[in-house]
Amino acid sequence: MSRIGKKPVELPSGVSASVSGQTIEVKGPKGARTFTATDDVTIGVEDNIVSITPRGSSKRARQQWGMSRTMVLNLVTGVTDGFKKELEIQGVGYRAQMQGNTLKLSLGLSHDVNFEVPAGVTVTAPKQTEIVVEGIDQQLVGQVAANIREWRKPEPYKGKGIRYKDEYIFRKEGKKK
C-alpha cells in the first residue's frame, strides 16, 4: 500500500480539475496545467477531491500510484501558489540584473553571461546579489535555477559563486605555509 497514494488530493476553491482518459487538467488562478498518467493507475474526480487508485497489484502499478498522486498535487500547488527558487550570489564584483527577458550575470569571467529566460518562468533580480525564479511548473523552475547556478557553482574555499538561498557550502581550509 502506498502511504502517499492513499491520500486524496483536495482542490481548493477557485481550482477545477477535469479528467479525459488518463490526462488530468487542473485550472486555477495562475494558469492551467496537465498531467498524463500511465495505464497502471486510474484518476477520478468527485466533489473537489482527486483520487488515484492502482490497476492491479504489480510493482509498477504501486510505484506509479504514489508518483501520480504527487504529480497531481504539484499541479494543484502550481496553479494556486506557484513555485519559487531563490538564489544568492557571493563574490567581489559578482552581480546580476534583468534586461528585458535576459538575465545579465557578471561572474568574474572574461565576458558577461546573458541568460535567456524561457517561457513559463519569471526571473527577477530584486538586489544585485539575489535572483528569484518563479513559475507554475516545478520542474521548469528547478531546471532554470540549476542552469543559472551552473554558470558559477560555489567553491569550497571562499564560498564564491551562485548558491541556493538555504544551501550550506562545506568550507575547506586552504594551504598553510
Q: Would you list the domain boundaries of the chain? A: 3-80, 83-164
Same fold, 3-80 and 83-164: yes
DSSP assignment string, 29-63? TTEEEEEE--TTEEEEEETTEEEEEESSS-HHHHH
Cα–Cα distance measured from residue 17 to residue 45, given in angstroms and rounded to the nearest whole number? 7
65 φ, ψ (degrees, to nearest 5):
-60, -55
* Architecture of the domain spanning 3-80: Alpha-Beta Complex (3.90)
Across the range 26-31, mean pLDDT stands at 92
| pLDDT tens by residue, 104-140 | 999 999 999 999 999 999 999 999 999 999 999 999 9
Q: What pLDDT, on the 0 to 100 scale, is given for residue 1?
A: 63
Cα–Cα distance measured from residue 72 to residue 113, given in angstroms and rounded to the nearest whole number? 36
Across the range 4-14, mean pLDDT stands at 90
pLDDT surpasses 80 at 2: no
Task: Give yes or no for a contact between 153 and 94, defined as CB atoms under 8 angstroms apart.
Answer: no
Q: What pLDDT, on the 0 to 100 scale, is given for residue 176?
A: 86
Q: What pLDDT, on the 0 to 100 scale, is given for residue 3?
A: 84
Of 154, 146, 135, the C-alpha closest to 74 is 135
Mean pLDDT score of the chain:
92
| pLDDT tens by residue, 50-80 | 999 999 889 999 889 999 999 999 999 999 9
CATH superfamily of 83-164: Ribosomal protein L6 (3.90.930.12)
Task: Give yes or no for a contact between 41 and 30, defined as CB atoms under 8 angstroms apart.
Answer: no
